[in-house]
Amino acid sequence: MTSTSQKPLVLYIDGNDFNQRLVRKILEPEGFLVESAGDGLQGIKKAIDLVPDLMLLELNLPYVDGLGVTMKVKSMPSLEHIPVVALTSKRARDDQERALASGCDGIVEKPIDVHRFAGRIKELLEGRREGHRAINKTQMLRDFSASLVDQLREKVEQLEQANRELAGRKAEIKDAYERSQKANLDLKRINKLKENIIAITSHELRTPLSLAVGYLDVLNRGMVGTVNEEQQELLRVSLEGLGRISSLIDRIGDLSRIEKKKIPYEFKVVDLNQVFHRAYSGYKIFLQLRAIDFQLELSKEPLWVRCDENMLEQVFANLLKNALCYTRDGGKLTAKSWIDSGRIHFSLQDTGIGMSAEDLDQIFEDFYQVHDHTYHKTGTFEFMTRGIGVGLTFCKGILEEMGGTIWASSDGLDKGSTFTLYLPQVEQNESVATA
């Protein structure tokens, strides 16, 4: 016996799981070890690896059929002594003869007789062999080689088909690769174009803008003649408009510098609550004018973060400006800050127009706006006054440079929005350089 436990090892080859379980259920309680294989090739491999005491097999098997397995086993000096038993159906006399001719030592008829099955296997193990029947071995071998040729032809056809499909896929992949290369080039070109526009906006517009601001200021101060009240009001509105354009140009320039990592940050360790208070103080008056209820739920203890204070203040100002602009008069804003797992968190929740799930993912992309950008109010902090869709990109870029990030959540349109950010927590006396 091959098995160390002295129990005889039966290798059962059958593609059907149910039959495998049944044979195992019958033989194991009778003191056999049972190993199974699901196809002819696997069966031959297991026979070589395990050298079982007996092999039991179906004739109809995937890849190499039962006759092929038997012939292979009987042709190998290390395995030829193993009794091979074929499971065939009662009336399939031809199959039985072919199995015996191919070298099988016994036949067990299906359906399996549960009471006699184990006894039959024991007999075969003890050396009993099937009586030879009158069979025409030459005819059987001829049939077998014909069936091998058929199997081979079928396999070749399958391989050719797989090859054709592969060639088709290769062409598809090549095509997709070429398209992605082209898209990549287009993207690079568009990006270059964007950079050029930004450069033109920042450099070429700034000079005439400063001139216009300067001249309007000269006029406004009455330096080239008296200015009446009506003219003064017109000049004030014009200067305010130019001021907004100027800060937009600054913001676009910042974005480009963040992208190219060219912002000259001045890192310090500061209390996030204090930086927020500074930004908030600039918005108090507008919150009052718009009758917006503001709830402050900031942590009592200082929240030390390492950051560029001015940049962080601009992040808060941007969030406050958005919350103010996208919340109706009489709405509510809640600012919270807290520490969690070594991170300083801050959130600003509003009861405003909210956002769809699709927009939540995109609002941090530059120049992205949820609403039609042509629908703009001219005021600064009125409901639905918008910029040009770069504020949040700026916030995200800055926070990521400082080791943090920001995200938005909303239960949907008209259900309010919450913007949450975090920065790594540091010690108050932490060295700025090593932080």
Kindly list the residues in this chain that would bind ligand ADP in the complex (CB under 6 A).
Answer: 318, 322-323, 326, 350, 352-353, 355, 363, 368-371, 386-393, 417
Minimal distance, residue 372 CB to ligand ADP, in Å: 10
Minimal distance, residue 307 CB to ligand ADP, in Å: 20
Quick one: 86 or 421, whose CB is closer to ligand ADP? 421
Quick one: 3 or 420, whose CB is closer to ligand ADP? 420
Minimal distance, residue 270 CB to ligand ADP, in Å: 23
Q: Please name the amino acid found at residue 403.
A: G
The residue number with the shortest CB distance to ligand ADP is 387
Token pair recorded at residue 272: 């996030």
Q: State whether residue 269 is helix, strand or coil.
A: strand
Quick one: 234 or 388, whose CB is closer to ligand ADP? 388
Minimal distance, residue 173 CB to ligand ADP, in Å: 38
Q: Give the end-to-end CA distance of the chain in Å, rounded to a whole number.
A: 70
Integer angstrom CA distances of residue 429 from 271, 304, 346, 432 = 12, 9, 22, 9
Listing DSSP states for 185-250 in one string gives: HHHHHHHHHHHHHHHIIIIITHHHHHHHHHHHHHHHTTBTB---HHHHHHHHHHHHHHHHHHHHHH
Element at 88 (helix H, strand E): strand 84-89
Minimal distance, residue 251 CB to ligand ADP, in Å: 8
Spatial contact of 264 and 308, defined as CB atoms under 8 Å apart: no
Contacts of residues 175-180 at CB distance under 8 Å and 24 or more positions apart, as own/partner, are none
Minimal distance, residue 321 CB to ligand ADP, in Å: 7
CB-based contacts of 370: which residues, under 8 Å, 6+ apart?
355, 356, 359, 363
DSSP 425: B
Quick one: 345 or 386, whose CB is closer to ligand ADP? 386
Minimal distance, residue 322 CB to ligand ADP, in Å: 3
CA separation for the pair 117, 104 (Å, rounded): 17
Minimal distance, residue 260 CB to ligand ADP, in Å: 19
Minimal distance, residue 392 CB to ligand ADP, in Å: 3
Quick one: 69 or 353, whose CB is closer to ligand ADP? 353
Quick one: 370 or 406, whose CB is closer to ligand ADP? 370
Spatial contact of 105 and 124, defined as CB atoms under 8 Å apart: yes
CA separation for the pair 139, 159 (Å, rounded): 30
Quick one: 217 or 400, whose CB is closer to ligand ADP? 400
Token pair recorded at residue 135: 């069979």
Integer angstrom CA distances of residue 342 from 55, 305, 427 = 64, 11, 11
Element at 120 (helix H, strand E): helix 114-125
Minimal distance, residue 17 CB to ligand ADP, in Å: 56
Quick one: 277 or 376, whose CB is closer to ligand ADP? 376
Quick one: 97 or 366, whose CB is closer to ligand ADP? 366
Quick one: 43 or 387, whose CB is closer to ligand ADP? 387
Minimal distance, residue 284 CB to ligand ADP, in Å: 18
* Radius of gyration of the chain, Cα coordinates, nearest whole angstrom: 41
Q: State whether residue 343 is helix, strand or coil.
A: strand
The Cβ of residue 156 has, within 10 Å, a number of other Cβ atoms equal to 10
Q: The tokens 């069936």 sit on which residue?
A: 147
Quick one: 147 or 418, whose CB is closer to ligand ADP? 418
CB-based contacts of 264: which residues, under 8 Å, 6+ apart?
none
